[in-house]
Amino acid sequence: MRPIESAYEINSTIMPRILISVIENISDTNGTTVRARNIAKILKNKFDILLITRANSVDNTLIASLGIEKDSIKVVRPQRTKLWNIKLIPIILRYKVHIVYCVTDIFGFFTYYTLSKFLKYKIVLEAHALAHKEKSRLESMIYYLLEVFVGSKANAIVALSGITYRFYKRFNKNTYFIPVFVDVSIFNKCITKNKHMERKVIGLIGPFDITPNKGQLNFLYANLNKFDERIRFKIIGKCDKRIRDERIEYTGYLKSLEEYVANICQLDALLVPAEIATFGPKNKILEAMSCGVPVFSTYKGVIGLDFARPGVNIVVCKLEELTQKVNELIFDEKHMIEISRNARKTVEMFYNKTMLVNRILLLLNRLL
């Protein structure tokens, strides 16, 4: 994998402008938008940032937390508009940009690529996963062709997983493996031994209005009575499909990172009963590992998580074995503490924010 080792300082009195493109509503909370926010945060002090998002409106409090001027957020309305590519054109023509950073925006890429021929800016595609692997047979071919096209035309590609890296490297020599980063300092207060001795609290993290997470919620509901009766469950994030059961607690949508971290810290383990592989690293797994919270996952749940070591830093099994595996291990204090410690070390070693941010900065400065 092609390495990028350290950051490079800009020798210029004028900050180059980087346009960050995210086709989803930046105010929503999912893997794509959280990543886009993190990219904006790390670039804001080095570059002039322009962020384009597709939404009806954006959360002003959230935008303020990014440290970006409100005028630097361009909203393409309405949220589900089919005219995304067309509506991007006047924005690009109005603002001179040096680099367009597409956060898994393979659709907007076509507009950016076409205009780059006249406006002479560079394009970075950040590839989170492989869309063609997640679609039906007919859609798979269409998405495969899309990913081949954008992969071959981008000036550089940032791949968040080894699977994604190997795919795009075939079409673009300027493909870099830079895993998703985690600011472990946010989770430092969480590092404790198992929280509850007699009873355990296991979490599921949403939001639960997207297909992969809906399946995980349904798994819990269908198998609730198969779990040890001493186990309680905390459903973290937006969840409209609720049941009345004394063993289940719902947090609802959490507005702040502090609330989110506090709820993860209360867990004895995280459950990821994934039936659909997304071929990219899951933020919620890495965040739990950062907290030293043991993770129970299916094999499909860890596809794209390159440094997962089943039985060492995470517990992995088949979906049909997951309930039994949880009952078998969750009360094994020694084993859970070992998994917890190894998980935290893995994040510190391979997903360290400082190291990975420097690689991104160096890549961008090479393109300028």
Instruction: Please indicate, yes or no, whether residues 160 and 273 belong to a single structural domain of this protein.
Output: no
Please give the DSSP secondary-structure letter assigned to residue 331.
Answer: T
Number of H helices and E strands in the chain, helices first, is 13, 13
Peptide bond preceding 294 in cis form (omega within 30 of 0)? no
Q: What one-letter code names the amino acid at 322?
A: L
Q: What one-letter code names the amino acid at 280?
A: G
Domain span at 108: 17-181+352-367
**Do 216 and 273 meet the contact criterion of CB atoms below 8 Å apart?**
yes
CA distance 351 to 347: 5
Tell me whether residue 3 is in a domain. no
Instruction: Please indicate, yes or no, whether residues 132 and 226 belong to a single structural domain of this protein.
Output: no
The DSSP line for 117-157 is HHH--EEEEEE-S-HHHHS-HHHHHHHHHHHHHHHHH-SEE
CA distance 128 to 215: 21
**Do 40 and 18 meet the contact criterion of CB atoms below 8 Å apart?**
no
Tokens linked to 70: 């409100």
CA distance 135 to 148: 15
pLDDT the model gives residue 262: 92
Tokens linked to 368: 């300028």
CA distance 36 to 205: 19
Q: How many residues does the chain have?
A: 368
Alpha-carbon distances, residue 83 vs 53, 89, 108, 126 (angstroms): 13, 10, 10, 22
Instruction: Please indicate, yes or no, whether residues 257 and 132 belong to a single structural domain of this protein.
Output: no
Q: What angle do CA 112, 118, 119 make, to 5 degrees?
A: 70
Tell me whether residue 8 is in a domain. no
Instruction: Please indicate, yes or no, whether residues 136 and 194 belong to a single structural domain of this protein.
Output: no
Tell me whether residue 76 is in a domain. yes
pLDDT the model gives residue 64: 80
β-strand pairing of 315-317 with 295-298: parallel
Tell me whether residue 341 is in a domain. yes
Tokens linked to 41: 């945060």
CA distance 204 to 199: 17
Evaluate if pTM is beyond 0.85: yes
The owner of tokens 């867990």 is: 267
Instruction: Please indicate, yes or no, whether residues 149 and 265 belong to a single structural domain of this protein.
Output: no
Instruction: Please indicate, yes or no, whether residues 70 and 173 belong to a single structural domain of this protein.
Output: yes
CA distance 247 to 227: 11
Instruction: Please indicate, yes or no, whether residues 328 and 209 belong to a single structural domain of this protein.
Output: yes
Tell me whether residue 11 is in a domain. no
CA distance 18 to 72: 11
pLDDT the model gives residue 135: 75
Q: What one-letter code names the amino acid at 304?
A: G
Indicate which CATH number applies to the domain containing 119: 3.40.50.2000
Instruction: Please indicate, yes or no, whether residues 230 and 260 belong to a single structural domain of this protein.
Output: yes
CA distance 77 to 74: 10
Instruction: Please indicate, yes or no, whether residues 131 and 252 belong to a single structural domain of this protein.
Output: no
CA nearest neighbour of 289 among 349, 337, 336, 347: 347
Tell me whether residue 299 is in a domain. yes
Q: What's the structural domain count of the chain? A: 2
**Do 108 and 82 meet the contact criterion of CB atoms below 8 Å apart?**
no
Tell me whether residue 7 is in a domain. no
Instruction: Please indicate, yes or no, whether residues 214 and 323 belong to a single structural domain of this protein.
Output: yes
Instruction: Please indicate, yes or no, whether residues 37 and 177 belong to a single structural domain of this protein.
Output: yes
pLDDT the model gives residue 128: 92
Q: Which residues of 219-239 are buried (b: 16+ CB within 10 A; e: fewer)?
A: bbeeeeeebeeebbbbbbbbb
pLDDT the model gives residue 196: 64
Tell me whether residue 12 is in a domain. no
Instruction: Please indicate, yes or no, whether residues 68 and 104 belong to a single structural domain of this protein.
Output: yes
From first to last of its 368 residues, what are the pLDDT tens digits of the chain?
554 544 434 444 578 999 999 999 998 888 899 899 999 999 998 999 999 999 998 888 877 888 888 889 999 999 889 999 999 999 999 999 999 999 999 999 999 999 999 999 999 999 998 888 877 778 888 999 999 999 999 999 999 999 999 999 999 999 999 999 988 888 877 765 556 678 999 999 998 988 888 999 999 999 999 999 999 999 999 999 999 999 999 999 888 888 999 999 999 999 999 998 877 778 899 999 999 999 999 999 999 899 999 999 999 999 999 999 999 999 999 999 999 999 999 999 999 898 899 999 999 999 99
